[in-house]
Amino acid sequence: MSEQTVSEQTLTPEQVEAMIRRGPFHQWLGIKVLEIGEGEIVIKATWREEWVVNPDRQYTHGGILATLVDLTADWALVSKTGRGVPTIDMRVDYHRAAMPGDLTARGKLVKWGSQYSVAEANVFDKDGALVASGRGVYLTAQPKAK
């Protein structure tokens, strides 16, 4: 897909979810795309007992939160790229422990570039409290023809 073609068509949440869930890890996370827009996405990850890092305290492993920041920021770019894109750099801030329950992440495009783009994401717990946030740089250049 060319960038022009992608921006002219509207991808549905179901279409984007099907693209994301091609990856077995994303299937395991229980990813559901709730909303998709121009440079924005909202996803939900279905909570799993395997996410618990400390059985006594019951909070979710930080790697799951970092994954959701990266995944959501990355796919916020789908309205421009029509596909997921490789991560160049990323940072994550942890704000509080994520207790058992589904997580919702909101991602948005910060800066579009023909080679590299910046997007950010916030991850919220089942009660709507911010548990993690972050920003990434992604390679948005068109893939080379084979």
pTM, whole model, 2 decimals? 0.90
| CATH tag, 3-139 | 3.10.129.10
Among residues 146, 144, 88, which one has the least CA distance to residue 117?
88
Confidence tier at 131 by pLDDT (50, 70, 90): very high
pLDDT tens across 77-113, in order? 998 999 989 999 999 999 999 999 999 999 999 999 9
Give Cα separations from 118 to 101, 131, 146 (angstroms).
29, 21, 27
Give the span between the Cα atoms of 20 and 42, in whole angstroms.
13
3-state secondary structure of 46: coil
The residue ranges of every structural domain in the chain are 3-139
CA 120 to chain centre: 9
Two tokens at 139? 């390679």
Higher pLDDT, 9 or 27: 27
Lowest mean pLDDT among 4-8, 14-18, 49-53, 99-103: 4-8
